[in-house]
Chains A and B, each alone.
Chain A
């Protein structure tokens, strides 16, 4: 689509929205808002086990957005394009270019910080395309991004505080803790922050074990973590490797799942079938919470199960929300121009504005199209973006796995 054509669309769209404001309804013969949402997926390469679930989350977001536009009577369509970032920053850059060539106005993903930085500097910064990485390293904060990076995934520091509170509430204050993390930027950063926070509150970290995800067995790692009989274990891992690590923990014969506290990458409505239930039933965990309760969450999980295919994985809800936020921002901007979308993200996640979830997304679309600021409360929580694009939401759910299902136990507020 040529630039000229795009401009005329956005011009006529804003005329339409003014008209709609005046008449209180959306005009049926309005020119359509044709938004393209791109996704960088780990379809092949070392992280490919996460590809299918993230792909499903992104396509679900596109379906839900299209449905909402239809229900709202707004002439908007959302198209989904995806490319394979292969877990490699160089491949991610190529992949991102194909998305941009297909007119993607936002890009969901990529999954890691190195890929995100390479894509940002290589292409999206220049074109003001918003990037919604599933990476939670604090490194991403330091880069100059011209406000184009938004993260629906919490960075390490807030989550660490939530974990501290969860352990204090369910294992006790000042106890001995063992940390096991997958040797990656996320686990590395979170374990360091957690150690500082936990020791700062008088607790003790007995052992910190980091394991290489490409190994076949984790029996030694499991044994080492449980050797000194800790009062609680913090596991920072993804479902794909926890399937093996969890089994190894149980095999040691010293494992008590009620002492286990997991980070948000191991938060699911229903435990995936690959993880042995013995290794997670009774375990506690933290995840960004949704103040409106679990209606949206339940709906998302229903949609997920109905769609069939891949089981739920890490950060699927966050990716889904990123897609919806991009869509709502485009509706609010009345444009598919990437910079215009970027400037509206905070208008559709504005504190104090009328709140919407995916249960009443069509109303949210109506409100956004009419120019009203809204507060989209996502499946993964509400979004308060700091100037650097990171989440500042202080509410976390503490949950427990009971009979293979996640049950919210309490909510904690961290600052």
Chain B
């Protein structure tokens, strides 16, 4: 199959890798089951669209504002729901994400059912410039290549940043919360504030991923922010291993190669049957992977037991 196809797989792996870094921070290191990540992603992506289309802001400024707005949404969710227990927090955040999605579909400011379009002109000019540079190495036929490079550069920078953050005293407090929140609180740490920060950072990462989604599909419509994508994120997280940021990158690549690669099966079945077979294989792989390597590919068994 063609290079273009795999570039696209790389784009998806990068976007949902960034998305899952936030879940790693929340679920893997803080013990917070954040299932609203797709909602933060939607807020990020739609804010970019709305700021550019309705307010006429340049794309880059819109992007910064969108990240800020997603963080604010993260705070709001955190302040109201962080006191809930783990499963309840999970379901409350799914609820939040669904409220966001249905609101975007039904409200006027977001373009409603007709979606949003025409926010990516700034990116297109960057894309053309990058392609003209790539022409010198004869790679300009791959139009999605600049996006791939931008996404993976961002992803790697964020990954290293998160990894460095992990070595700070701040992260040790987060782990303490995950292991035993009461004990950490007894040490005089404001655990609520730490959890809130963790959630805020995850929301920012989701918004960055959302920005790249909007550049990839060039049209904003609420179905792209379905809770399914949060579940994808958790699949990536578990595949890569809890407690490892590098595992997120690896997990994302494996997940998307599995999900998209299964399209390439050659059978004589009808299209409907072939698609069904594809998802049977994906489902079986998910079960087998969690069975054969419960700690994930790069996961640490010591981190595994420490879930809420």
Touch A–B, Cβ below 8 Å: yes
| Chain A residues engaging chain B, CB cutoff 8 angstroms | 39, 41, 43-44, 46, 51-52, 55, 82-84, 87-90, 93-95, 97-98, 100-101, 112-114, 117-118, 121-123, 126, 137, 139, 142-143, 183-185, 187-189, 212
B8 touches A94 (CB 8 A): yes
Tell whether B12 is near chain A: CB-to-CB under 8 Å. yes
Assess the B2–A188 pair: CB atoms within 8 A: no
In order of increasing CB-CB distance, the 9 nearest A-B pairs are A43-B275, A82-B271, A188-B113, A114-B221, A84-B275, A117-B219, A118-B217, A89-B217, A121-B218
13 A-B pairs (CB sep. < 8 Å)? A51-B275, A55-B271, A84-B263, A84-B274, A89-B219, A93-B8, A98-B1, A100-B2, A113-B115, A118-B219, A122-B8, A142-B117, A189-B114
C-alpha spacing A86/B123, complex, angstroms: 27
Beta-carbon contacts of B263-276 to A below 8 Å, as 1s and 0s? 11000001110111
Closest to A43 in B: B275
Task: Please encode chain B, from 94 to 107, with 1 for each CB lying within 8 Å of some chain A CB and 0 for all others.
Answer: 00000000100110
Q: Quick check: B219 and A114 within 8 Å, CB to CB?
A: yes
If A114-B223, A118-B217, A183-B105 touch, whether A98 touches B264 (CB-CB below 8 Å) is yes
Output the least CB separation between A404 and chain B (Å): 26
Closest A residue to B124 by CB, please name it. Answer: A121
Residues of A within 8 A of B263 (CB): 83-84, 94-95, 98
Q: What's the count of A-B pairs with C-beta under 8 Å?
A: 113
Q: Which of B28-71 contact A (CB under 8 A)?
A: none
Looking across the interface, which residue of chain B has its beta carbon closest to that of A89? B217
Question: Is B184 part of the binding interface, using a Cβ–Cβ cutoff of 8 Å?
Answer: no
Overall SS of chain B's interface: helix
- Taking chain A's interface residues, is the majority helix, strand, or loop, or is none over half, making it mixed? helix
Asked if A97 and B5 make an inter-chain contact with CB atoms under 8 angstroms apart, the answer reads yes
User: Which residue of the partner chain, among B224, B264, B270, contacts A114 with CB atoms under 8 Å?
Assistant: B224
Contact B2 A55 (CB under 8 A): no
Check A43 against B276 for contact (C-beta < 8 Å): yes
Q: Are A183 and B143 in contact (CB under 8 A)?
A: no
Contact-size category for B: 35 or more
Note all chain B residues with C-beta closer than 8 A to A188.
112-114
Q: Is B279 an interface residue (CB 8 A)?
A: yes
In the bound assembly, the distance between CA atoms of A170 and B1 in angstroms comes to 56
Contact status A183-B106, CB under 8 Å? yes
CB distance from A51 to the nearest CB of B (A): 6
Other than A55-B271, A117-B217, give 10 A-B pairs with Cβ distance below 8 A: A46-B223, A51-B272, A84-B271, A93-B216, A94-B5, A100-B4, A139-B114, A183-B105, A188-B112, A188-B114
- Cβ of B189 within 8 Å of any chain A Cβ, yes or no, is no
Shortest C-beta distance, B66 to chain A (Å), equals 19
Interface string of B118-131 (1 = CB under 8 A from A): 10000000000000
Determine if A114 and B115 form an interchain contact, defined as CB atoms under 8 angstroms apart: yes
Closest chain B CB from A359 CB (angstroms) = 27
Distance between Cα atoms of A144 and B180 in the complex (Å): 56
Tell me the complex Cα distance, A189–B223, Å: 18
Query: Which residues of A sit under 8 angstroms from B113, Cβ to Cβ?
Result: 183-185, 187-189
Contacting pair B218 A118 (CB below 8 A):
yes
Chain A residue numbers with a CB within 8 Å of B275 are 41, 43-44, 51, 84
Contact B272 A41 (CB under 8 A): yes
- A409–B12 Cα gap in the complex (Å)? 51
CB-CB under 8 A for A123 and B4, given A51-B272, A89-B217, A114-B221? yes
Determine if A97 and B271 form an interchain contact, defined as CB atoms under 8 angstroms apart: no
Question: How far is B124's CA from A143's CA once the two chains are assembled, in angstroms?
Answer: 14
Cβ of A304 to closest chain B Cβ, rounded Å: 16
Closest to B213 in A: A90
Minimum CB–CB distance from B231 to chain A (whole Å) comes to 13
Q: Which residues of B contact A113 (CB under 8 A)?
A: 115, 219, 221
Task: Report the bound CA distance from A137 to B102 in whole Å.
Answer: 19
Q: Does B9 contact A (CB under 8 A)?
A: yes
A44: contacting residue among B114, B264, B279, CB under 8 A: B279
Query: Which residues from chain B contact A139 at a C-beta distance below 8 Å?
Result: 114-115, 117
* Bound: A55/B272 CA distance, A: 8
Chain B residues with CB under 8 Å of A44's CB are 275-276, 279
A100 to B3, CA, bound (A): 12
Contacts of A43 in B (CB 8 A): 271-272, 274-276
